[in-house]
Amino acid sequence: MKSVFPYDSVELSASGREVVILDQTQLPNQEKFLHLTSAEEIFYAITRLKVRGAPAIGIAAAFGLAMCINRFRTRSLAALEKEFLRVKRYLFISRPTAVNLMWSLDRMERCFYATKQSLGTTEDKHAIEVIRNALTAEARAIKAEDVRMCEVISELGFSLLHPGCSILTHCNAGHLAVSKFGTALGPIYYAQQQGYSPKVYCDETRPLLQGARLTAYELTKAGIDVTLVCDNMAATLMAQGKVDFVFVGCDRVAANGDVANKIGTNGVAIIAKYYKVPVYVFAPTSTIDLTSASGNDIVIEERPAFEVTDMYYTKPMAPKGVQVYNPAFDITPASLVTGIVTEKGIIKPREVKNILKKG
């Protein structure tokens, strides 16, 4: 599969001392790259959505942790371990819903202690260098594995499509949200490369407009036939028979197959059920959380009011002081999901518990 973009949304510099991200808050008007050199800058970039998308957040956190340890000056292995745990705990709380963040940071911790244990009684100076190298390699491996997962997911998703098909998307689950290619948008890129000429209807995805600013930007840049629609137009499109599939990404899948994704996904799935349009959720297995029995166990992030009332407007679009409810995600029940596309296959939601057992 060919990438249609000359850059990735998140990178670790060759030296391992900088995390380089494309600032997604500046899109579609400016492609601005940020060079992050501290835990605080990584935390801010994640919380303010400068880097976003569950897989990309996980990769950024792993890169950030490796970067901080590479920059931390010490001759004491104990001090290095203390700093590692401090940064890990700090980044762990940057966003609560996307399980990839926790998954990648826990994986980095396992790498730290496995490497430390393998060294035995080695002097601190040598051990510190070995651990730094191991963490950098592990962070790069997390990204490389994500690239491969996206390739496989893209090919599996492509198998659902037919020439000239039309797809409705919500939020952004493309190249910008992962390391490369995308999850829900990956099959669309692949279909375009195979000559299928897919048609995409792109929900704007209020209040942060990830569909309008990011998905429409990506697809337009890739030469895909894309039409931007307001979120409340999805039902009209389906009633008119203009949508063959709904493709969305996700931030967490519970053990029963319930899905946490960008706010509005549940509404789209309800409408699709009524109009008999299949809904496919694209989810690397790193987003599956078996500790959450159902969607009721998933913590939903609530974001600040100004994103609804002021952000992207030259003047406030609501009365001053009005109360605002701004959950970042909602839960789509497993009963509304046709299938979940993972790198291990396309499964029914009820099969989530078994998919992690596959080699």
Q: In the chain, what are the domain boundaries? A: 10-150, 153-355
What average pLDDT does this structure show over 61-82?
A: 96
The structural architecture, per CATH, of the domain 10-150 is Up-down Bundle (1.20)
Contact 49, 307 (CB under 8 A): no
| pLDDT at position 359 over 80 | no
DSSP alpha helices (H): ranges in 93-215? 99-119, 124-158, 186-193, 210
Pair 340, 347: CB distance under 8 Å: yes
| pLDDT range class, residue 98, cuts 50, 70, 90 | confident
Residues in the chain: 359
Q: Which two tokens stand for residue 330?
A: 């909602």
**Longest alpha-carbon distance in the chain:** 70
Return the pLDDT at 291.
Answer: 93
- In this structure, of 64-73, 112-121, 160-169, 184-193, the range with the lowest mean pLDDT score is 112-121
- Catalytic residue set: 251
List, for residues 335-358, the tens digit of each pLDDT value: 999 999 999 999 999 999 888 776
Instruction: Give the predicted TM-score (pTM) of the model.
Output: 0.93
Residue 226 has pLDDT above 70, yes or no: yes
In CATH terms, is domain 153-355 a member of 3.90.1010.20? no
pLDDT at 120: 76
